[in-house]
Chain A
Amino acid sequence: MRVSDKARIRQRRIIHGVLILLSFSLMFLGKADLSALRNIRMGSSDFLAPVIDFVSAPIRGIETMVEGVRTVASLRAENVRLQGENDLLKRWRRRAEILESENRQLRSVTGAATIENRTPITARAVTAPGGGFAHTVLIAIGSEEGIVRGNPVVTADGLVGIVIDVGRAYARVLMISDINARIPVILSSSSWPGLTVGQNGQFLDLQFLPDEAQPKIGELVLTSGHGGVLPNGLPVGRVDQIEDGTIRVRPAVDLRNLSYVSVLTGGLEGIDNSNLDLADFYTPLPIDDTTRLLEGLDSSGQRR
């Protein structure tokens, strides 16, 4: 082996070692969630997002083509299904109109406030979660459009997640299925509060429900609005499985098929959006004693 080769190998080993050390240190810096690092991260996402869009175009084309072939093949069955769904929807529409009218009357009686004033802005999802360690998406909208950290992201079906990083033209959304996403929720029929916790999979865990709560399969889970970051009443999912005390929730939105989403802007005035761990705004209910459960009532429902 020549001297120059030896020197080159030594140099290469040193560079290798330095890079391993650098990437290892980056992990701890990244975990520290420094705002400078977050800005660099979002800056690079801003820079690379159009390139991802360009590279993904052929893949989206193939997907559309496959979808088209599949649709043509199942057109007849689809037609029958849609007719059935149409009839059902007409019935639901009539029911909704009745309920809406009833709701309006009740609101006028109780003086309850309408849903918080938030303006939806539509955005395109540029990426999808690609690994098992983080469930986030980049959306093609950023600070230029008035997006800020903490804005909820929804579709017509329900909650997708929360904006966690904002760049100039792109923003990153932490999906409800991410392991770090903890959403304060209530059960729709009984109003028992709890937390949905993502698992980096397709389902969420419903945790911290009081013992008395008896969720039913198919029951809707809605945001409770604790902390004010998320408005209350957004569908998060439906109870899908109850097994050995573990309650699994299927997200209301099909997170695998996100193309367009709505970002709900506004409504965050006076809220500290530097802490987006919504679980911090939620305190599990005390259930073993007669302490406060609802204002003025104890756990047995008696007035205090």
Chain B
Amino acid sequence: MKDQRSYFERADFQSDFPLQFLAGVVGMILVLLELGVAQWPFFYGAAPVLSLIFIYYMIIYHDKYMPVFVIFLMGIVGDVLLSDLLGGRATAFLLLTYVMQHRLVRLQQSDFGQLWLDFAVSCAAVSLFQLLLFSALNFRIPALSPILFQLGATLILFPIGFVIIFTIHRLLQKVKIV
């Protein structure tokens, strides 16, 4: 008898691609926005990592709309435009995603305070990973104050970013897009 499983799978199929594409576009805009924000003298050399806030939110609440390829692309584009070590940011983002996916249920059940704390740890881990790679490949340690400032600015902007993304999400739910 012919295996009928494939027919049922096909019946289940509902394309997530448009929303994944939308998430990709928003992610890219955020990466470009980081460069725009960097033009403010206040954020010179230490623009907040807005894309990380977006990735963090999406992985926790809309995992299926955030394909790893989009995360990879966001990292690579960031590396190219910031002239950072090519692949450094992308690897850090992908590793963070991997770790988050293993703790997904716990993260989804956490309250905002716990999420903020977890984001602080994640953000610090990403910076530390990039710093270690950079130091290992260049045999030098860069000034730490801009990195710490960037970390602090990202953490301060986390609640604002979170609320903005949450509001957009609610609006999309109202118009029945998600």
* Interface set of A (CB-CB < 8 Å, partner B): 3-4, 12, 15-16, 19-20, 22-27, 29-31, 37, 41, 44-45, 48, 51-52, 55-56, 58-60, 63, 127-136, 138, 172, 177, 179-180, 199-202, 255-257
Contacts and interface: CB of A to CB of B under 8 A. Distances in A.
Contact of A20 (B37, B84, B94): B94
15 contacts: A4-B5, A4-B12, A15-B69, A16-B68, A16-B94, A23-B75, A30-B85, A41-B86, A48-B80, A59-B37, A130-B46, A132-B46, A132-B150, A133-B88, A201-B142
B91 interface: yes
A48 B142 contact: no
Contacts of A132: 45-46, 142-144, 146-147, 150
Contacts of B35: 52, 55-56, 127-128, 130
Contacts of A134: 82-85
B112 interface: no
Nearest to B94: A20
Contacts of B150: 131-132
Contacts of A20: 91, 94-95, 98
A236 B94 CA distance: 40
Contact of A25 (B44, B68, B82, B87): B87
The main secondary structure of chain B at its interface with chain A is: helix
A135 to B, nearest CB: 6
Contacts of A63: 39-40
B146 A16 contact: no
B45 A55 contact: no
B37 A27 contact: no
Contacts of A133: 82, 84-85, 88, 130-131, 134, 142
B36 A16 contact: no
Contact of B138 (A56, A177, A180, A202): A180
Nearest to B48: A130
Nearest to A55: B32
B39 A179 contact: no
Nearest first, the 6 A-B pairs at minimum CB distance are A30-B86, A26-B87, A201-B143, A130-B38, A56-B36, A200-B142
Contact of B94 (A23, A25, A27, A29): A23
Contacts of B133: 27
Interface string B28-71: 01001111111111011111000000000000000000001100
A59 B82 contact: no
Contacts of B134: 133
B51 to A, nearest CB: 11
A128 B38 CA distance: 6
Given A45-B81, A131-B47, A60 B137 contact: no
A4 B8 CA distance: 10
Contacts of A179: 138, 140, 142
Nearest to A63: B40
B9 interface: yes
Contact of B90 (A26, A29, A60): A26
Contacts of A131: 45-47, 82, 84, 146, 150
A4 B69 contact: no
A26 B76 contact: yes
